[in-house]
Structure 1
Amino acid sequence: MSVFMDLNVLFSADRSRLQSLVETAAHLGFSTVAINYVFEPTTKKKQEVPSPVPISELIGHLPVVQGRSRPIKVLNRLTVVMSEASHFRPNATEYRAFDLLAIQPTTEKLFHTTCMLCDVDIICISVTEKLPFFFKRAPINGAIDRGVVFEVSYASALRDSTMRRYTIANAVCLMESCKGKNVIVSSAAEKALELRGPYDIINLGALFGLSDADSKEAVSSTCRAVLLHAETRKTASGIVYTRISQQDTLQDCVGSEAPAAKRPKPT
């Protein structure tokens, strides 16, 4: 039996709305959801990266997944909307508080940089407007080789006919370049009525240019691969961070002991 996931449920300060979202996701058969904190830096003023609210404070009682005997798993995710290269800070300590890390690049140059260099789990494709660039296979293949996935969300298509056209057009353009590989389909839902069941999403994948098998993987096995990638990324970055800290400490110690070593011995 497949394990279905929705890795993009938008954070809301309204606790009852968020509780309703999680309960509906569990009722539809999703075993895992990720609460998405969207961070869009601006050049006008310095903004702090939002801190995730503990799940126990957001949701009092985790509902049981439909057809299973276990409660739904809820994760925290950060999505950085990057309009300048400086908006994403590699190894920033603020990112460590989140289970998943995503970037939504807004230009072709930033998309290329994100695919080839940025250590993230998900690259978001904008679906609310026409993309200002075309997808090229070189950066997409680079992201696939690094285990990074691309995300297409569908909730915007339910709100407005214009955004529906953009969603389908941008998704089809992506699928033509990546051949349906390393793609997840999530909701980006703001309220419970915007959620759809896993098999409805699998059918929706046909409109995006996905095969039946790739559509099913986009809400199941590929999502599981994202979680594994996130665990590996956090472990690796933690090792790097620890090594850098140790090196700095050793250098400080050597620097403080160096003058003492040069002092003449007392006669």
Structure 2
Amino acid sequence: MSVFMDLNLSYTADKGRLQSLIETAAHLGFSTVAINYVFEPTAKKKQEIPVPTPINDLMDQLPVVQGRSRPIRVLNRLTVVMSDSSHFRQNAPEYRRYDLLAVQPTTEKLFHAACMTFDVDLICISVTEKLPFFFKRAPVNGAMERGVVFEVSYSAAIRDSTLRRYTIANAVSLMETCKGKNVILSSAAEKPLELRGPYDISNLGLLFGLSDGDAKEAVSSTCRSVVLHAETRKTASGIVYTMKSCSETPGQQEAPPAHCEAPAAKRAKQLTE
């Protein structure tokens, strides 16, 4: 059975709407979602990278995924909209607050840099305007070799007919270059009505130029690869993973809980599966 993911639910300060987004995603069968915080630096004033809201502060109990017995998994994601190379700080400690890191380049030069050098998990393709550059095979292949994945979101196509044309045109242009590989489809939904089920998204992928198999992978296995890439990015060559150990009561000699035992070993096993 496929595991479906939507790695782009737009963050909103409206707590109720964000809860509804997560609950709707779980009802539609998504096992993992990511709350997307968009950071768009400007030259006029210094801006601080937003701090993600802990999921415990957002919801007391996560909804159970339809058709499964486990609750939905919620990740935090940061997307940096770049109009200048200085907007992405390669080793900024603020990036470590997020599970996923994405960039949205606005020029051909920045797109090339994102594909070839930036340590990110996702490269977002703008769907709200006609791209000012063409996709070239060399940087796209370079990103694919590094395990970086491209993202196309579909909710803008639902809101407006003009945005629908831009979405389809930009998506088709990308698919012609990458041959449908290393691409995910996500919603970028701002409200529950903009969410679609996994199989509806797969059918939409056919309109974007994906094959039937690639369209299904774009909402399942390729998304899983993005999550694993993000975890590997925080390790030493994908081998050593550090995390906080569970606190132990003074004087307690009992074995630690199962979820605290050998975290590095368990993580290494997950990354090799």
1:141 aligns with 2:141: yes
Residue type at the aligned position of 1:74: V
Change (3 A) 1:48 1:239: farther
Verify the 8 A CA contact 2:187 2:195 in the aligned structure 1. Answer: yes
Matches within 5 A, 1:2-41: 2-41=2-41
Task: Report the TM-score, using the length of structure 1 for normalisation.
Answer: 0.88
1:164-183 equivalences in 2 (<5 Å): 164-183=164-183
Contact 2:77-2:100 within 8 A present in 1 as well: yes
Cross-structure match for 1:129 = 129
Mapped to 1, the partners of 2:191 and 2:234 lie a distance apart of: 30
1:149 deviation in Å? 0.1
Q: What is the number of residues matched between the two proteins?
A: 241
For residues 165-192 of structure 1, what are the alpha-carbon distances to aligned partners after superposition, in whole Å with 9 as ceiling and x for unaligned? 0000000000000000000000000000
What CA distance in whole angstroms lies between the structure 2 residues aligned with 1:118 and 1:155?
Answer: 27
Counterpart of 2:235 in 1: which secondary structure? Answer: helix
Give the deviation of 1:91 after TM superposition: 1.1
Other structure's SS at 2:51 match? coil
The structure 1 segments of at least 4 consecutive aligned residues displaced by more than 4 Å after TM superposition are 237-240
Amino acid across the alignment from 2:104 = Q
Gaps of 5+ in 2: 243-273
**1:210 to partner: Cα distance:** 0.2
Distance 2:137 2:236 in 1: 27
Q: Whole-Å Cα distance in 1 between the matches of residues 118 and 210 of structure 2?
A: 26
Matches within 5 A, 1:85-100: 85-100=85-100
**Separation of aligned partners in 2, 1:232 and 1:182:** 17
* Equivalent pair of 1:91/1:237 in contact (CA under 8 Å): no
**What is the CA–CA distance in structure 2 between the aligned matches of 1:189 and 1:59, rounded to whole Å?**
19
Per the TM alignment, residue 238 of structure 1 is displaced from its structure 2 partner at its CA by 11
Q: Distance in 1 between matches of 2:60 and 2:177?
A: 43
Residues 1:226 and 2:226 are matched in the alignment: yes
Give me the whole-angstrom Cα distance separating, in 2, the residues matched to 1:196 and 1:85: 35
In structure 2, the partner of 1:82 is: 82
Q: Secondary structure at the match of 2:150?
A: strand
Deviations 1:140-162 (A, max 9, x none): 00000000000000000000000
How far apart, in 1, do the equivalents of 2:135 and 2:228 lie? 26
Mark the CA change 1:239 to 1:82 in structure 2 (over 3 Å): closer, same or farther: farther
Partner of 2:217: 217
TM-fit CA distance, 1:236: 3.4
**2:124–2:151 CA contact under 8 A, matched in 1:** yes
Superimposed CA distance per residue, residues 214-239 of structure 1 (whole angstroms, 9 cap, x where no aligned partner):
00000000000001100010123999
Paired amino acid for 1:19: Q
Structure 2 CA distance for aligned equivalents of residues 236 and 33 of structure 1: 26
Higher normalized helix content (fraction of residues):
1
Instruction: State how far apart, in whole Å, the 1-side matches of 2:64 and 2:147 are.
Output: 31
| 1:66 partnered with 2:51 | no
Q: What is the rounded CA distance, in whole Å, between the counterparts of 1:215 and 1:183 in structure 2?
A: 9
Partner of 2:204: 204
Give the TM-score of the pair, scaled to structure 2. Answer: 0.86
